[in-house]
């Protein structure tokens, strides 16, 4: 797989189809990190193995990366889902990005353009794994008081470093609500109320948009299971809207089961 990715990256760069390839390379120690390859002769630095799980899609939204020119990105399923979601949100045009797609079966996927990517994502809808669903069910089985205590305990650990936000491809607003101080919607200090406000606000802003990549949970230095909040919402959306909608919470349908839409 790694050799195929390197070959594809070389072709894209040497043919001038893209000016940069975003992928995984050797970091410090045993870690991998995002790398930005701009010359075909550097493509050999790209790595693909079990450590390459970081969702790289967030880099596509950075103006420093956009300034490098048209990008190709090494994209496992969470990255493909992120790009599809960002397209629904009008953040990309078809010509903006090329993908070196990798299926869940670890095969290179031929996705000649972003519309093909959208079709591929549509054919592979987001589903919680049995383990993830079991964790959601475990929380559902709690009483409201127990669930409240669980989340208060978890969110009380938050140090408001915002690494979760920085790592999430869906958190791309130029100015986040937490930075607005006139009026100040979200309390700045890291105390129980301020933390709760921050996490509820973030979960609501990600409702129907989270691609379940787990990057926020991996980034959190204090180990809060942030993804679990969004998994609950993913399960609710699947229950209420099925899997046919690309972006259920942005779809307008006069036959919506809620009256408010009429």
Binding site for ligand SF4 (CB under 6 A): 55, 158-164, 167-168, 170, 206, 210-216, 219-222, 224, 226-227, 230
End-to-end C-alpha distance for the chain, whole angstroms: 51
CA distances in angstroms from 70 to 86, 94, 175, 216, listed in the order given: 16, 11, 25, 27
| Minimum distance from residue 112 beta carbon to ligand SF4 (Å) | 25
**174-180 LR contacts (CB < 8 Å, sep 24+):** 177/201, 177/205
By beta-carbon proximity to ligand SF4, the closer residue of 134 and 222 is: 222
**22 pairs with which residues across the strands?**
36, 73
| Minimum distance from residue 164 beta carbon to ligand SF4 (Å) | 3
| Minimum distance from residue 122 beta carbon to ligand SF4 (Å) | 18
| Minimum distance from residue 116 beta carbon to ligand SF4 (Å) | 22
């Amino acid at each position: 797989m790694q050799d195929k990715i390197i070959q594809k990256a070389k072709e894209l760069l040497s043919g001038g189809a893209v000016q940069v390839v975003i992928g995984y390379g050797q970091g410090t120690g045993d870690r991998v990190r995002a790398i930005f390859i701009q010359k075909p002769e550097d493509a050999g630095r790209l790595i693909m193995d079990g450590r390459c799980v970081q969702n790289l899609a967030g880099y596509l939204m950075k103006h420093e990366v956009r300034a490098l020119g048209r990008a190709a990105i090494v994209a496992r399923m969470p990255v493909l889902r992120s790009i599809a979601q960002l397209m629904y949100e009008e953040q990309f045009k078809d010509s903006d990005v090329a993908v070196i797609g990798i299926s869940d079966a670890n095969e290179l996927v031929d996705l000649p353009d972003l519309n093909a990517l959208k079709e591929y994502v549509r054919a592979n809808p987001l589903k919680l794994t049995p383990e993830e669903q079991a964790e959601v069910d475990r929380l559902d089985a709690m009483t409201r008081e127990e669930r409240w205590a669980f989340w208060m305990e978890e969110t009380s650990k938050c140090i408001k470093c915002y690494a979760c936000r920085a790592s999430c491809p869906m958190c791309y607003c130029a100015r986040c609500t937490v930075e607005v101080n006139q009026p100040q919607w979200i309390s700045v200090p890291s105390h129980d109320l301020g933390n709760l406000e921050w996490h509820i606000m973030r979960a609501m802003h990600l409702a129907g948009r989270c691609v379940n990549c787990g990057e926020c949970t991996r980034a959190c230095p204090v180990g809060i299971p942030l993804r679990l909040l969004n998994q609950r919402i993913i399960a609710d959306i699947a229950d209420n809207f099925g899997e046919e909608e690309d972006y259920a919470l942005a779809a307008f349908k006069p036959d919506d089961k809620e009256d408010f839409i009429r």
